[in-house]
Amino acid sequence: MSLKIALLISGRGSNLVAIQEAIERGELEAKIVLVFSNRPTAAGLEAAERLGLATAILDHTAFSTREAFDSELGAILEACQPDLVVLAGFMRIMTAKLVDRFRGRMINIHPSLLPLYPGLNTHQSALDAGDEFHGASVHFVTPDVDGGPVVAQAKIPIRSDDNAESLAAKLLVEEHRLYPRILQWIASGRLQYQGGEISFDGSKLNAPLQL
């Protein structure tokens, strides 16, 4: 089965490119049916067009309420009937109503070892805390921001000469490996999320997989 993906971005779109390249290499049995951006100037939109992917833009600044924006975004997403909504640098907090419309079918990548550092500035937070490791987490989306069940994480050591930029750059390489791999597990049915529980190869997942 080929997994139909709607991908949501707000910026650069490097994860989007990594996912599409994994599809083109035959490592991910999926099709990106739509790349959506809430920012008309997102560089990822150009990347999507170069890759021949369908795009849609809804400028959130044109909406007076979060509810109105989310209701239209929900309609756009439902129109392309995705099996999975993949957030890849989508910098918008979504209403519970929108998240619930796609509960169990929406996944995100976050640049920290969740539950550490939800929200922004994760690299600096890891440095400020004196952490030994930093990482990225892939998690199903629930109405709690960056709070849904974590499927898998990739870890990197923090070196004494690291700064927020160097950590972000090193972590991005890991993100580009991690995300397509998890998506393939969903495409192949190895990874499932139902009723708030994740199962992997038929067994309940009690802790995030470390990759």
Q: Which residues bind ligand GRF (CB under 6 A)?
A: 9, 11-15, 44, 88-89, 109-111, 136, 175
DSSP state of 2: P
Secondary structure class of 38 (helix, strand, coil): coil
Shortest Cβ distance from residue 108 to ligand GRF (Å)? 7
What CA–CA distance (Å, rounded) separates 173 from 179? 11
Shortest Cβ distance from residue 10 to ligand GRF (Å)? 7
Strand runs labelled E in 43-202: 55-57, 84-87, 106-110, 133-140, 150-157, 191-194, 197-200
Closest residue by beta carbon to ligand GRF: 89
In the complex with ligand GRF, the residue whose CB is nearer, 13 or 82, is 13
**CA angle, 121 then 122 then 124, to 5°:** 70
- Kindly list the distances between the CA atom of residue 90 and the CA atoms of 13, 98, 119, 130, in Å, as whole numbers in the listed order: 9, 14, 12, 28
Shortest Cβ distance from residue 156 to ligand GRF (Å)? 13
In the complex with ligand GRF, the residue whose CB is nearer, 6 or 109, is 109
Q: Catalytic pick from 110, 123, 134, 176?
A: 110
In the complex with ligand GRF, the residue whose CB is nearer, 95 or 108, is 108
Please indicate whether residue 134 is annotated as part of the active site: no
In the complex with ligand GRF, the residue whose CB is nearer, 71 or 166, is 166
Burial class (CB in 10 A: 0-12, 13-18, 19+), 4: middle
Shortest Cβ distance from residue 7 to ligand GRF (Å)? 10
User: What amino acid positions are annotated as catalytic residues?
Assistant: 110
